[in-house]
Amino acid sequence: MLTERYPYYVANRPRQPNADLPVTDKYSGEVVTRVAVADAAAVEEAIAAAVRATGPMRKLAPYARQQVLEHCVRRFQERAEEFALALCIEAGKPLRDARAEVTRLIETFKAAAEEAVRGGGEVLNLEVSSRAAGYRGFTQRVPVGPCSFITPFNFPLNLVAHKVAPAIAAGCPFVLKPSDRTPVSALLMAEVLAETALPEGAFSVLPTRLEDVGPFIEDDRLKLLSFTGSEKVGWDLKARAGRKKVVLELGGNAACVVDADQAGRLDFVADRIAQGAFFQAGQSCISVQRVLAHESLYDALREKLVARAKALRAGNPRDESTTLGPLIDEPAARRLEGWIHLAVERGARVLTGGGRRGALLDATVLEDVPEDAALCAEEAFGPVVLLQPFRDFDEALHRVNDSRYGLQAGLFTQDLSRAMRAWDELEVGGVVVGDVPSFRVDTMPYGGVKGSGLGREGVKYAIEDMTEVRLLVLRQ
């Protein structure tokens, strides 16, 4: 169970000031706990401490960084069920999904523990012209320095882990502002970090009101801003970030193409699309939103998808049999319900779903949604999937690209040349052949192009961003 009130962490230590924020159970809407909230002075203290920790973090030997990460892995394993319950309550995730996120948290930290002792450099051949005869070059990667992290509500543990674990592996101190809607998970992680031998000031985890969050973005002592969240906020923050490096992991309206040769395996395809569209009530940046199915199998796939949507059990996420939890709050569900109504007014057909009770939105399948309707062109971020038939494979690729987003795309096909064409031509960060765009493991490079972001996460790739190449030239 949750405790009554959680401290924030400044310079590795818990602190309980008077000011706090309520945290609600996303199913019942009741306030279930409170978290201490950092004011401008605490944010300044955290940044100053991170600056002081820059040298000690850089000097922390790779094996010592690895030991810190391994300690976290052990403690997360021991506390897995407690963490899952916290996620279930504060994010409204069905327990099954919450446990899956804790498993991924552990995998992310394990991957970072391995990377912590890897980081080698290169030996360069500099003798590219006669004037460089006798010169040799070497590189090493050095930590960028203090980092700023801002994270969203939808994976409040694992998306925090995608910044925190690589930062420890890279040797960077950090200040983190978790989502004010789901701050408990990050504070539980901070409890574990506080047990480790990280140098003083290496980490601060600060739920912060928006009016005090400016320094996380604008302070030049912070050398990298890594933001995961919505498109609008992300690009706005980048414009304010000054000289620091910026990594943006933003939204999407992911598409999945089902090619004509899939007719014999539509049960598998429908299972995967239902999982990709309705997992976490569709609140994933790579949730399947648009399905482009070849016209020869469109009707059969539609029937199977509708059946799977109807089979989901919406309800209290704490109930083990629940497979569809609420959206993060009622306004989010109302927004999506409104988009469904607007699309229907313009000719869309609801094949199943569309109903709403508070923050719970039924798993919804639609067809004939106009491509410029918000439900298609914007990020739905809910349990909604749109079906569209296509005749020609090129037309399907064109429609996948006809989006201002570009995170991941899925393609079900047995045709290798089509798979390679999709990989070459789709404007996305990753193409998943044989599965939905929602596939992710925590070591793969992950991120978007166009409106979906800038840079890549995935432990090794995040470490690249959190380090700079430093060159040594030797003349013999």
For ligand NAD, the closer of residues 7 and 406 by Cβ is 406
Asked whether the beta carbons of 394 and 422 are under 8 A apart, the reply is no
Which of 72/285 has CB closer to ligand NAD?
A: 285
Residues 402-431, one symbol each (x = binds ligand NAD by CB under 6 A, - = not), give -----x------------------------
Instruction: Supply the minimum distance, in Å, between the C-beta of residue 131 and ligand NAD.
Output: 46
Decide: is 168 part of the binding site for ligand NAD (CB under 6 A).
no
Q: What minimum distance in Å lies between the beta carbon of 429 and ligand NAD?
A: 9
| 186 lies in the binding site for ligand NAD (CB under 6 A) | no
Residues 167 and 198: their CA atoms lie apart, in Å, by 12
Residue 149 CB, shortest distance to ligand NAD, in Å, is: 9
381 touching ligand NAD, by CB under 6 A = yes
Catalytic residue, chosen from 90, 101, 249, 337, is 249
Q: Out of 11, 85, 144, 213, point to the residue binding ligand NAD (CB under 6 A).
A: 213
Is 395 catalytic? The answer is: no
Using CB under 6 A as the binding rule, whether residue 228 contacts ligand NAD is answered as yes
Residue 272 identity (one-letter amino acid): R
Q: For ligand NAD, which residue has the nearest CB?
A: 229
- Contact between 379 and ligand NAD per CB under 6 A: yes
Asked if 108 touches ligand NAD (CB under 6 A), the answer is no
By CB under 6 A, is residue 179 in contact with ligand NAD? Answer: yes
Among 3, 120, 134, 210, binds ligand NAD (CB under 6 A): 210
* Measured distance CA(92)–CA(86) in Å, rounded: 9
Note whether 451 binds ligand NAD by CB under 6 A: no
Q: Is 249 in the site for ligand NAD (CB under 6 A)?
A: yes
Question: Per-residue contact track with ligand NAD, 255 to 294, x per CB under 6 A?
Answer: ------------------------------x---------
Instruction: Give yes or no for residue 167 binding ligand NAD (CB under 6 A).
Output: no
Q: Nearest distance from residue 227's CB to ligand NAD, in Å? A: 7
Q: Please, are residues 136 and 476 in contact by the beta-carbon 8 Å criterion?
A: yes
By CB under 6 A, name the one of 152, 199, 317, 353 that touches ligand NAD: 152
Q: Are 9 and 206 in contact (CB under 8 A)?
A: yes
Q: Which of 62, 56, 48, 78 is nearest to 192 (CA)?
A: 78
The number of residues making up the chain comes to 476
Q: Does residue 443 bind ligand NAD (CB under 6 A)?
A: no
227-235, 263-271, 335-343, 346-354 -> range binding ligand NAD (CB under 6 A): 227-235
Judged by CB under 6 A, how many residues of this single chain contact ligand NAD? 26
* Contact residues: ligand NAD, CB under 6 A: 150-155, 159, 177, 179-180, 210, 213, 228-230, 233, 237, 249-251, 285, 379, 381, 407, 448, 453
* Residues marked as catalytic: 249
